[in-house]
Structure 1
Amino acid sequence: MTDPTDFSTRMNRRTQLMLTLSAAAFLAVLVPFMRLSTGLPTLPGDPVVKGPGRGRLISGDGQVLASGPARARTYPLGQLAAQVIGFTGDAGGLEGLERALNGPLSTGQDQVLSLDTRMQAATERALATAGQRANAQYGAAVVLERRSGAVLAMANWPHFDPNVWRAASPAVWRNRAGVDEFEPGSVIKALTVAALMNEGRTDRARTYPAPMRRRYAGTVINDVVPHPEVLSTWQILRYSSNVGMTELVDGVPADVLDAYFRAYGFGEGIALRLPNADGVLPPVTDWTRLRQATMAFGQGMSVSAVQLAAAFNVLANDGQYVSPSLLRGAPPSRRQVLRPDTAREMQDMLHGVVDEGIQRNAELPGYHTAGKTGTAQVALGGRYSTWVYTSTFAGFFPAAAPQYTVVVMVRGAKEQYQGSQLAAPIFREITADVASFQAWAPEQRPAATPTRRPALLTHHETPSRR
């Protein structure tokens, strides 16, 4: 007969053993789990903690951009949108959307982006080809869907492959389209003119004296493009006249332009789910007469490529600002900045700027576009460089019924650095590919163009500082 006391003792020992083994097993799983959740690296020999798996990043057109666990993540399309997608380490996302969306991704939730892989590839290809040819330092470009603000392409050059991200330098990981700030140069003239027209302070046909140089607020403002001594508002844009811009803004209250610049989105970041720059828009209390004039033609302020795209999209989108978004279906914020009739007038005027100024550089025959170039000297060591420039183009297409807004920025080109020579052809190549994707037929007859224009002169882009 079994002794009850002995039986009870054996059961207690067995229970204690089971509890000890359970605790040891729990701790064996808990330690690596805490390393993952707190960002500490896992160690050799740690058991794999099974969970729901890491969610995928998927493009708006259904392509898988990232999949697999954090410590063995794969990027099937290689370098495509690498700076936007980012990459992971053992503990989770380290850069780009992998880091910004680490929370939902680490719980197994797929994230569908607005990016269109064909448009992204076309934008990257055009940017890389031109950047290499011009021996530039780097470049960025953004394509927005006009109505929704969806980011269809956000390209950076040089490229890298996130599958082997350690082979690239941190400078190449940088999403310059969102985080790099630059003085935009003459592209801002279009936004300034739109604001003044919206306020009834000018119209496209009003004329102003415009000598090739003007003493203004203690300095001399110069133009480079030869033009008549009197220019209309439209011609000021056509010839990218800095002198004409001083005439347009002289006497305009500073708070009027400041309010429009801020309504365009300058001076504040965008809720993009990725880090992005605020840019620099000096407080209106610091504006002088000279500063107001130079800001009117894009000097003394800074923007990012995505900020500039959102601002120019106001002109394409009948005067309404739509916040850009990288996640498909994310509801944008909206605000009316310009009256629809003002925006449509600007669409037509900027169509003319391209057609009569840089048509061969910015559009293919039969595919009309609208936009403005810029060439800004880069400030180095507190002074404007005479050899480092930022080349920009901001525009939209098709000109008659805009669907897409595009901004191109290239810095430090050693050859053909003017915006009309470098950034505008990149825009043309992007629009050509998109027209091919969409199977758009060329227009059989030229679209309507602005009136009261002077005879064509040889075009040469004007740097923003004189």
Structure 2
Amino acid sequence: MSKQNKKVHIYLPFFLICFAFLVIVARLYSLQIIEHEEFKQEVSKSQVRKVDILPERGIIYDRNLEKLAVNIPSYSLYAYPKKISHPEEAAGKLSSILGMKKSWLVKQLKKEKVFLWLGRKLPLIKKEMIETLALEGIGFVEETERFYLQKKLASHLLGFTGIDNQGLAGLELYYEEELRGKRGHFLIREDALGYEIPLTRRITQGLVPGMDLVLTIDNIIQSIVEKEISLALEETEARSVEALFMNPQTGEILALANKPDYDPNHYSDFSPFFRRNRVVHSIYEPGSTFKPFTASAILEEGLITMEESVYCEGTIKIASHTFHDWKPFNQYFTLADILRNSSSIGMIKLASRMDKEIFSEYLHLFGFGEKTGIDLSGEAKGIVRAASSWSLTDLPAISIGQAIAITPLQMLTAFCALVNGGELLKPYLVKYIRNAEGKRVKENEPTVVRRVISPSTSVQIKELLEQVVEDGTGRRAKIEGYSIGGKTGTAQVPALAGRGYIPNKYISSFMGFAPVASPGIAGIVIIKEPTGAYYGGEIAAPVFQRIMKRVLPHLDILPEQEEWVTVRVS
């Protein structure tokens, strides 16, 4: 080997090592000097994480501050998969307690994740059972869970919440923004493996607790109503029973109930039909309970006197359709007689004196075909066609509660206008909202939407409806010592497809108020598709009577007539 080749063998490795060293130095210079700020920001992002703090949801009370919806502690189970050495063993121990398949748990615990949930909102007993296992990489976070103290009571108006306490139905949904409060935030620092570094938390935004709702609902009245309509559902073997009671002078809802119902603590166990608030969301043909509205329009327009009478035969033919009365009276009736006996033929004859445009305007004034504006989501508008599209049979049909579809809420809201002096009021469920310190931040007051009829017509209607209860079709709603007014209704169920009605399917109802001179409460009871007896006066009026007999004393509405009892001393 030449001397020159020896030098190459000696110096080449040296130069290569020096070159590699220079490359490393250059790269280090680039990383630490040139790109320092960029990497510093990236590292900072990866080390700092924002965590939300969920506020406690507001409480829901009845008007007397009885708690209806509260928050209770619950425990959510989490895992750090990277800290679990034996996932199969841990999954086997957890599966029986959580009621989950071992294979699913094994799959979760083997995931390449820093953190994951295994179970949300677990009860204390399960938490304690799991803690006794002393499993590595397993822990709990304490959360709050919505709890409805009286289970099914008022479920349709309260609604329910989801897994993260977000409102999904009822008042919980409508007042979600007020109830949920505002989230807080804090920052935490994590190590290279993604675990929190102790003592590094820093709050960046404080949380604001949710506000409380105080309802117009009276818990006692609600309980009475639900008990009675539950009994009616059982006795009549009906498809459903609905009831609604209001203060006709203010628009405050005192009770709203649907049967069958559901438990909002376990809402997913019930079908949509059970959870549906049919008082607000479902429409129906009201039948004869609609006749007082027609009568008020006739009186308001001056188309009849109280002394005038019309002949009420058993049938009447209009265009190609024949209308039937529920029984052939074949005699002359005054307006009082027509309402007292619920004569459809008599009401049709009187309604024919009105122009259809005028009658249609009264339907609008009473709020039919439009939402009432109640503080609940999903309210139905009903179906009221424009007068320009009516056939010759529509006006007579609507005058007796056919060819029109409305909600029970619309019906009672309009009825309150009939008996409160003629003003349509906006119904509402929340009396006031207060913050965590107990200060009222919003109050709902009675809201007059518009005047519908004159005070004098309202007085006449009240007197006529009192006669219906005294010696008419509504006599089974009578309560000794009290003046009660009301109207019965029996309607057929329209066929889902095409025209006509389903044979032997009926909707029975009664709508009433008390006391007659100065109404303090008005209500409606609707029994859908009962088995056996189906006339509203037979099955709905007695339910209304039983409710009012208990509710009137509770409202401090005393009997207007003294009952004298003679005691014989032997």
- Structure-2 separation of matches of 1:188 and 1:169: 31
Residue of structure 2 equivalent to 1:5: none
Once the two structures are superposed, the pairs formed by residues 147-158 of structure 1 within 5 Å of their partners are: 147-158=249-260
Kindly provide the amino acid, as one letter, of the partner of residue 404 in structure 2. Answer: M
On the 8 A contact 1:71/1:90 being kept in 2, the answer is no
- Aligned with residue 284 of structure 2, among 174, 178, 182: 182
> 1:98 Cα deviation (Å)?
1.0
- Structure-2 separation of matches of 1:99 and 1:250: 45
RMSD: 2.3
Corresponding position: 1:254 with 2:356? yes
- Secondary structure (helix, strand or coil) at the match of 1:313 reads helix
Q: Deviations over 1:371-421 (max 9, x none)?
A: 111111001233301211111111111123211111111111112221111
Kindly provide the amino acid, as one letter, of the partner of residue 392 in structure 2. Answer: R
Corresponding position: 1:370 with 2:485? yes
Distance 1:71 1:376, change over 3 A: farther
Report the structure, 1 or 2, having the larger strand content. 2
Distance 1:172 1:71, change over 3 A: farther
- Structure-2 separation of matches of 1:123 and 1:365: 20
Distance 1:251 1:200, change over 3 A: closer
> 1:24 Cα deviation (Å)?
3.8
Kindly provide the amino acid, as one letter, of the partner of residue 421 in structure 2. Answer: D
Kindly provide the amino acid, as one letter, of the partner of residue 530 in structure 2. Answer: A
- Secondary structure (helix, strand or coil) at the match of 1:93 reads coil
Q: Which runs of 5+ in 1 are unaligned?
A: 1-8, 30-48, 447-466
> 1:204 Cα deviation (Å)?
2.3
Once the two structures are superposed, the pairs formed by residues 5-16 of structure 1 within 5 Å of their partners are: none
Once the two structures are superposed, the pairs formed by residues 202-281 of structure 1 within 5 Å of their partners are: 202-274=304-376, 275-281=378-384
> 1:112 Cα deviation (Å)?
1.7
- Secondary structure (helix, strand or coil) at the match of 1:252 reads coil
- Structure-2 separation of matches of 1:314 and 1:140: 21
On the 8 A contact 1:139/1:158 being kept in 2, the answer is yes
Q: TM-score with structure 2 length normalisation?
A: 0.70
Corresponding position: 1:346 with 2:461? yes
On the 8 A contact 2:280/2:407 being kept in 1, the answer is yes
Residue of structure 2 equivalent to 1:313: 416
Distance 1:421 1:164, change over 3 A: same
- Secondary structure (helix, strand or coil) at the match of 1:401 reads coil
Kindly provide the amino acid, as one letter, of the partner of residue 457 in structure 2. Answer: T
Larger deviation: 92-101 or 300-309?
A: 92-101
> 1:265 Cα deviation (Å)?
0.6
Kindly provide the amino acid, as one letter, of the partner of residue 160 in structure 2. Answer: F
Residue of structure 2 equivalent to 1:85: 158
> 1:51 Cα deviation (Å)?
3.8
> 1:436 Cα deviation (Å)?
2.9
Kindly provide the amino acid, as one letter, of the partner of residue 138 in structure 1. Answer: S
- Structure-2 separation of matches of 1:368 and 1:439: 15
Corresponding position: 1:393 with 2:510? yes
Instruction: Determine what percentage of the aligned residue pairs are the same residue.
Output: 30
- Aligned with residue 323 of structure 1, among 402, 408, 426: 426
- Secondary structure (helix, strand or coil) at the match of 2:49 reads helix
Q: TM-score with structure 1 length normalisation?
A: 0.84
- Aligned with residue 72 of structure 1, among 125, 129, 145: 145
On the 8 A contact 1:227/1:239 being kept in 2, the answer is no
Larger deviation: 437-446 or 417-426?
A: 437-446
On the 8 A contact 2:482/2:561 being kept in 1, the answer is no
Alignment size in residue pairs: 417
- Secondary structure (helix, strand or coil) at the match of 2:430 reads coil
Question: Is the radius of gyration larger for structure 1 or structure 2?
Answer: 2
Larger RCO, structures 1/2 (Cα 8 Å, 6+ apart): 1
Kindly provide the amino acid, as one letter, of the partner of residue 69 in structure 2. Answer: A
Corresponding position: 1:434 with 2:437? no
- Structure-1 separation of matches of 2:545 and 2:47: 65
Residue of structure 2 equivalent to 1:59: 62
- Aligned with residue 49 of structure 2, among 8, 26, 49: 26
Distance 1:84 1:300, change over 3 A: same
On the 8 A contact 1:71/1:88 being kept in 2, the answer is no
Residue of structure 2 equivalent to 1:6: none
- Structure-1 separation of matches of 2:270 and 2:550: 29
Corresponding position: 1:299 with 2:402? yes
Q: Deviations over 1:169-220 (max 9, x none)?
A: 1211111110010000001111100111011111222111211222222222
On the 8 A contact 2:158/2:169 being kept in 1, the answer is yes
- Structure-2 separation of matches of 1:116 and 1:93: 22
- Secondary structure (helix, strand or coil) at the match of 1:387 reads strand
On the 8 A contact 2:474/2:537 being kept in 1, the answer is no
Kindly provide the amino acid, as one letter, of the partner of residue 180 in structure 1. Answer: S
- Secondary structure (helix, strand or coil) at the match of 1:94 reads coil
Larger deviation: 106-115 or 221-230?
A: 221-230
> 1:161 Cα deviation (Å)?
1.3
On the 8 A contact 1:369/1:398 being kept in 2, the answer is yes
On the 8 A contact 1:60/1:116 being kept in 2, the answer is yes
> 1:445 Cα deviation (Å)?
6.4
Residue of structure 2 equivalent to 1:286: 389
- Structure-2 separation of matches of 1:392 and 1:202: 27
Distance 1:50 1:214, change over 3 A: same
Kindly provide the amino acid, as one letter, of the partner of residue 420 in structure 2. Answer: N
- Structure-1 separation of matches of 2:532 and 2:331: 31
Distance 1:78 1:292, change over 3 A: same
> 1:136 Cα deviation (Å)?
0.3
On the 8 A contact 2:484/2:513 being kept in 1, the answer is yes
Distance 1:439 1:24, change over 3 A: same
On the 8 A contact 2:489/2:535 being kept in 1, the answer is yes
Kindly provide the amino acid, as one letter, of the partner of residue 395 in structure 2. Answer: Q
> 1:334 Cα deviation (Å)?
2.8
- Secondary structure (helix, strand or coil) at the match of 1:73 reads strand
> 1:360 Cα deviation (Å)?
4.6
Q: Deviations over 1:216-258 (max 9, x none)?
A: 2222222234535111111111111111112101241111111
